Structure formats: C-alpha cells, structure tokens
Structure 1
C-alpha cells in the first residue's frame, strides 16, 4: 500500500472488477483507454494480481484517504513487448483537476524507484490526451519516442531515476 497526503493506493484485485468496468465505461475515459466487459476486466485484474505476486508491483486502486471513495487506478505495469515498466493512471472524470493523478503518479515513481532496479519508467499516452501529457510533464517525464500499443499510436515518455530524485 502507498499513502500520500490525500490518497491511498492499494493493489487492485479481482474483487475490483465492477469498479474497473465502471471506470472504463465512462465515455470521457474511454476516449483514450479501452473499455472492458466484466469478463475482460476480470482477465485484466487476474493479470494485475499475477504481476503483483510475480514481479512485486502492479496497478493500484486510487482512493481518497478522507472518504475512501474510489477515484481511479494508478500503478506500475510491466509491458513484455517493450521490456519496460510503465506508470499509468486513469481517474474518474469527477476526480479530474484536483492534482490526484500527479500525486498518485509521483508516489508510484518514488515507490518504484525505492523498490525496483529500474533506471527509468515510461508513461504511454495517446498524443491527443493533453491532460495526461501535462500530468506526465509535472511528474518529470520527457519525450522518448512514438510507438504503437493495441494498434494505436502512443507517445512514450520516460522518467529517469536521476530526474525523479531531483524532484523529491
């Protein structure tokens, strides 16, 4: 579990299937990330649990420390095809504009660099998702390359260990 001033990040589990389906079903959210059927969400969450048990990291539910409300997800995800660990975030539209994504992503970066032997983490963002690109910039990510994920062009940004340490 990761705690910040306002947030609690706990590992996602298969028990979170309804939360993930609801999050990804929002039209404002799935402009940039896929939506999931319950079966697809269950499969995804099973993979998240396997990453936690096999790699020691994974995606987390982001919850308000004050209310316990589910705000979205953030965490570290290993992409085998890139051999890279991404810090990804997806929040409910009602949570946008409060700095939660930046706070959660920074906390995941700090947690990841403290525990993993990684020189950098990536953020993989749809080039049209200006809000997420701004979050990445605030966290300290910089452009690495353009790539393709699930048949869509993405901007891949990198956060180097040294850059993250300089922002602490």
Structure 2
C-alpha cells in the first residue's frame, strides 16, 4: 500500500514538473516578435487611393473590408480615435496582428512604419497575414494574383504578447 502511494506521489510530482516546464517554454514564445508573411495589394502615400483600392479589393476578392476604425493622421500615419487611445495617448496605432499575431484573411489599410523591414510613410492595402511560406500563403497569393497580378507577400515580424 505504501509503495502504491509513493509511486502515485512520484507520478504526480513528475506530471507537475512536466506541466511547469511546458508553461515556461510557452512563456518563452510570448512577449516576442514572430515572423509572418503579409500579402500586400498596394502601397501608396495617398490614403484616399489606398481606400479606393481596399474597397475594390474587398468587392473583387469577396473578402471582408475591416478598416479597424483607423483614420489617417497627418503626423502619425494612422490612428485610432481619441477615446480608443485614452490608455495609450493620442494618436495611437497598433499594426494589424499586434498582440495576438493571428493569421487572418481580410482587407485593411495599414501604415508601413509599424512593420519591421517596410519602407516608411506608406499606406499599405493588406489582404492577409499568414505563417511564413505556408500552404495558406501560397493558396491565397495564387488566388489574389489572378485579380491583382502585382500583389506580393512580404516578410515582417509581428508582436505576440502584452500590449500594455
């Protein structure tokens, strides 16, 4: 009976140690930048042109248009509303995907300054964010290139972690 109890305690201890180890490893992948490929339809320094392309792309590609309530801002590029920026200070802008680094597939306008490795000062019409060199990237880019032959994927790093 004592041996069974000892073995159970050892098993439980091993499980707890294993779970703690996985928790530490998971935290190592949090609050860091992760590589992603972004499918870009257009880049321009004119917000109205980007908006026109984004609306057309949503219609032609049958994708949702989500401008994320962002508005152009003369000095900052894009910003959320003053009330949405209350916690961070106005103006404020978070790149698409920041915080969760999820893959997604919708049309938006983003500001290039927020992405590592991108030229500064451009509004970019984005059609998707995918894992690097993934099957999803290849499939989406193939479909998008039928309508937008100049569309391309560009590698960047997106923040995965706390946004405070």
- Give me the TM-score of the superposition, normalised by structure 1: 0.25
- Structure 1 or 2, whichever has the larger Rg, is 2
- Give me the TM-score of the superposition, normalised by structure 2: 0.25
Which is richer in strand? 1
